[in-house]
Structure 1
Amino acid sequence: RVVGITAACVILTFPISLPARIIGGKEVKRHSRPYMAYLDIQKGSERTFCGGFLIRPDAVLSAAHCLLLVFPGRKLNITVILGAHNIRDKERSQQRIHVRHWVIHPKYSHEGFQNDIVLLKVGPNTSPPGHLPKPLDLAGAECKVAGWGQTSVTGDTTNVMREVKLKVQNGTICQQLLKNYQPQSMICVGDDYSKKGSYKVSAGDSGGPLICKQKAHGIVFTRISYFEPWIREQLRKFSLQDLPGSPSSD
């Protein structure tokens, strides 16, 4: 059974629906995933949550649909929480950062979740560009997806970070099953033998990273290497936004 694909964030899947629930996973060791980010997204009285991950100390990568699918438009109040394990606890390790600058891929489309990627600025530029993954044939590789989303199809939720192992499938399978699948920019992930997976759209998991061979290769199934030129260009622009009077995305 193919669990799904993601189009712009490291580790989501969607067989027509978006991935966001960690099904069949287990709680991770506390604070063992320091790159993980939790996005609290608000528009007026409405609120939703997503995952994300640091690609360098001042930049978080996530899925564009987190910002645009539920709340179309850009007048959003976004807080990125770093250093969290139990998102409902006031852990001393947590850092809460109000995000004023972000950029969504200009060709993002919720139709098939194409180019589903967003980059958020969470601080001043204090480091060189992150080490983005090189294009690899990942078919058959065992990867991991982590998040704070629902843990079952019945809606059970978790406040602590959980993680599940999934295998990268041959892209031919997804091309046959999903008309909007784009092998150059998406990663097909699933589990043939059990009900494990990052399943449907649920707060907390969308936008999180797909970790393969110790590197983030997907944003809930968006193939990061395909977007490397765009990511590096946005990081360069983020550096310029450190100057007084720079524009913001909200």
Structure 2
Amino acid sequence: MLLLLISAFVLLPWAGAGRITGGWEVKPHSRPYMAYVSITSDLDGCNPETFPCGGFLIHPHAVLSAAHCVAGKRKVTIRVTLGAHNIKKEEPSWQVFHIDHWVIHPNYSDTNYKNDIMLLKLKPKANLTKEVKTISLASQNDYVKPGRTCQVAGWGKTSLNEGLSSVLREVDLKVQREEECVETFKMKYIQQSMVCAGDKDGKKSTFRGDSGGPLVCKGKAHGIVSYGRRNHFFPKVFTRVSYFEPWICKELRKFLLQDLPECSSSD
């Protein structure tokens, strides 16, 4: 809540793409689409490691997150909590799911975070309430323009020296010109399937623990927190949700075994 040849430019989702820095605590349950994703990997059966990611509810049966949260790990278990504000204080609004079915984009690359998207399938489905709601996705022809101010929320770290936030926090980030990320990440940045965003002043950012959370612009999810440079707050790269709309719909139809009216017919 994340690649170049010299260490100062190594891309690590955990090192540069998951901390809400320079943000604020949101009003409890004002972001009802947010999902807290807890991932446990136990390689030897004796020393399980648990770490958080973000996610967001797009359908009563599905949460979107980032593929890098799970890819490359063995013996993974995933728990999703909906309806939470303070993740350390259980509330009646919580809905907890132990995920048995998830799908990572088949062309995901752990070297450049290409196609960094994952669909978590909820069974039984989420009960939509005041504290638990879906968020609309940007469609294929819905392209967020540079200069647009968007929001990212998560339970990630608030500074280099602080631990993970127990409460949901949010920060404003501006969508940047593609050239900002092309200049920084060279050929690693793919304009068609990624969004470049951040705060040029370096005071507001995302970092560890927020990976997989949504970049929300005008009420729609346009991006997924993906990666950045180690110890650099600007720029940040998000998976472009609109580019993957056909894949998301295809996977939802396969899981639900039914057509979805909100999905386009093309895959």
Instruction: Give the shorter-chain TM-score range.
Output: 0.7 to 0.9
Maintained 8 Å contact 2:136/2:219: no
What residue number does 2:106 align with? 106
1:137 and 1:51 mapped to 2: Cα distance?
21
SS at match of 1:229: helix
In angstroms, what is the RMSD of aligned CA positions?
2.2
Runs of 4+ residues over 3 Å off in structure 1: 124-127
1:124 CA displacement: 4.7
Call closer, same or farther: CA 1:48–1:111 in 2, change over 3 Å: same
Call closer, same or farther: CA 1:169–1:130 in 2, change over 3 Å: closer
**Cα deviation per residue 1:195-248 (whole Å; 9 max; x = unaligned)?**
11113xx23x1100000111000011100000011100000011139xxxxxxx
Match of 1:219 among 184, 206, 224: 224
Maintained 8 Å contact 2:135/2:219: no
Is it true that 1:193 corresponds to 2:201 in the alignment? yes
1:48 and 1:64 mapped to 2: Cα distance?
14
Call closer, same or farther: CA 1:214–1:124 in 2, change over 3 Å: same
Maintained 8 Å contact 2:135/2:220: no
1:218 and 1:88 mapped to 2: Cα distance?
27
TM-score, normalising length: structure 2 = 0.78
**Cα deviation per residue 1:125-165 (whole Å; 9 max; x = unaligned)?**
699x9843123142110000000010012234310000000
Match of 2:137 among 132, 137, 154: 132
1:157 and 1:131 mapped to 2: Cα distance?
27
2:254 and 2:240 mapped to 1: Cα distance?
22
Maintained 8 Å contact 1:125/1:239: no
- The residue correspondences of 1:128-167 to structure 2 (distance < 5 A) are 131-134=136-139, 135-167=142-174
Match of 1:234 among 251, 259, 262: 251
1:27 and 1:77 mapped to 2: Cα distance?
29
Letter in 1 for 2:189: Y
Letter in 2 for 1:216: A
Gapped regions of structure 1 (runs ≥ 5): 1-5, 7-13, 242-250
What residue number does 2:213 align with? 208
Letter in 1 for 2:240: R
What residue number does 1:3 align with? none
SS at match of 1:233: helix
Call closer, same or farther: CA 1:32–1:137 in 2, change over 3 Å: closer
Match of 1:40 among 38, 41, 46: 38
2:202 and 2:146 mapped to 1: Cα distance?
18
The sequence identity of aligned pairs, in percent, is 54
1:104 CA displacement: 0.3
2:10 and 2:239 mapped to 1: Cα distance?
14
1:159 and 1:131 mapped to 2: Cα distance?
26
1:183 and 1:206 mapped to 2: Cα distance?
19
2:118 and 2:102 mapped to 1: Cα distance?
7
SS at match of 2:109: coil
Maintained 8 Å contact 2:149/2:172: yes
**Cα deviation per residue 1:53-73 (whole Å; 9 max; x = unaligned)?**
00111100000000125x2x4
What residue number does 2:228 align with? none
In the alignment of these two chains, the number of paired residues is 222
SS at match of 1:183: coil
Maintained 8 Å contact 2:56/2:135: no
Letter in 2 for 1:123: K
1:177 and 1:143 mapped to 2: Cα distance?
21
TM-score, normalising length: structure 1 = 0.83
Letter in 2 for 1:223: R
SS at match of 2:81: strand
